[in-house]
Structure 1
Amino acid sequence: MPNRNLVFVVDDDPGTLKGVKRLLREHGYDSVLFPSAEAFRNYDDFDAACCLILDINLNKESGIELRHRLKAAGITLPVIYITANDNPAVRMAALASGCIAYLTKPFAAKSLLEPVGKASAGLA
């Protein structure tokens, strides 16, 4: 059963990981940080969290491709995408992969906290 206050965060930018962790902590959420898609895939308890904040452009991989692999493996964790490289094709691919939010960096705290709150409440 997921911890409704635990959020997974996958981003290859240490500054983003630190900032998102701080924001989540300030609003009562715990987080587990992953600096790469590989580090996240090596984790074994995907159902522990209420949602996943996932960068689209990871060092060697695409967050969207990671999302597809998770779905293929039966992992239905709600996903919030974040990206610094917004374009219509990426946005369409992200939305088509099934996400609860798509945010462009830098984003307002509220725009991240709202979908995290919905996932935490089981509404995502």
Structure 2
Amino acid sequence: MTSDFLIHIVDDEEPVRQSLSFLLAASGWRSRKYASAAEFLDTAENLEDSCLITDLRMSEMNGLDLLRRLRKNGNTLPVIVVTGHGDVLAAVEAMKAGASDFIEKPFSEEVILSTLKRVCAAAQEKSQVRQQRQAARDKLESLSARERQVLDGVVNGLPNKSIAHNLGLSPRTVEVYRATIMTKMQAHSLAELVRMAVEGSDHYAARD
């Protein structure tokens, strides 16, 4: 569930931090507060299943610089940038730098909560897709070279006889390889096998 996400609040104004933290707690979200971007970078630990809400204008490191630092380090956690009315152009730059969304001050409780829910749901979905792809890659790597050759034929829609002819094998041997591949890939159907092959390797990407 998206409410299981930990929300990191970075703002150099304590009343803003306290107010937003209280709102999130009342709505079932966990949060942590930071008085500066530097404090967040120094003390925030595991950022999986997390979302960052950061003010754009802060002393020392601003929200845009924080976002750029995170993306440069390869961190993909969702980031919501809070901006004043006159900072819309800067907020657009934040979106280009990888922000998930931006909210203009003053914002209502409904706006911040609905944005947070949408952004975290999208991040959760992306995370699940990444996990599925990694699982598919791991299973593909468990196949032998010959099993990968047979799988190539299966994904290309070739019947066992054609695969056997191309590889210099008997159709019965190809059947045995296919059964082994299904077991190693933990696929329950041909469609599932093909889906995992496509998910796990660009080699099987659609061709024109």
TM over 0.5: yes
2:83 maps to what in 1?
Answer: 83
AA of the residue aligned to 1:58: M
Question: Does the 8 A contact of 1:14 with 1:35 survive in 2?
Answer: yes
Structure of greater Rg: 2
**Using the alignment, how far apart are the partners of 2:78 and 2:93 within structure 1?**
16
Report how far residue 117 of structure 1 moved.
1.2
Cα gap change, 1:104 to 1:72, in 2 (>3 Å): same
Larger RCO (CA within 8 A; separation ≥ 6):
1
Deviations 1:61-104 (A, max 9, x none): 22111101101111111000002353342122122112222111
User: What percentage of residue pairs aligned between the two structures are identical?
Assistant: 27
2:37 maps to what in 1?
Answer: 37
1:55 maps to what in 2?
Answer: 55
Question: Does the 8 A contact of 1:50 with 1:119 survive in 2?
Answer: no
Cα gap change, 1:74 to 1:3, in 2 (>3 Å): farther
Question: Does the 8 A contact of 1:52 with 1:79 survive in 2?
Answer: yes
SS in 1 for 2:106: coil
TM-score scaled by length of structure 1: 0.87
Runs ≥4 residues deviating over 6 A: none
Q: Which moved more, 1:114-123 or 1:70-79?
A: 114-123
Report how far residue 56 of structure 1 moved.
0.7
Q: How many pairs are equivalent?
A: 123
Structure 2: any 5+ residue segments left out of the alignment? 127-208
Q: Which has the higher helix share?
A: 2
SS in 1 for 2:43: coil
**Using the alignment, how far apart are the partners of 1:104 and 1:115 within structure 2?**
12
Q: Which moved more, 1:12-21 or 1:99-108?
A: 99-108
**Using the alignment, how far apart are the partners of 1:82 and 1:88 within structure 2?**
10
SS in 1 for 2:40: helix
SS in 2 for 1:53: strand
1:26 maps to what in 2?
Answer: 26
Q: Which moved more, 1:82-91 or 1:27-36?
A: 82-91
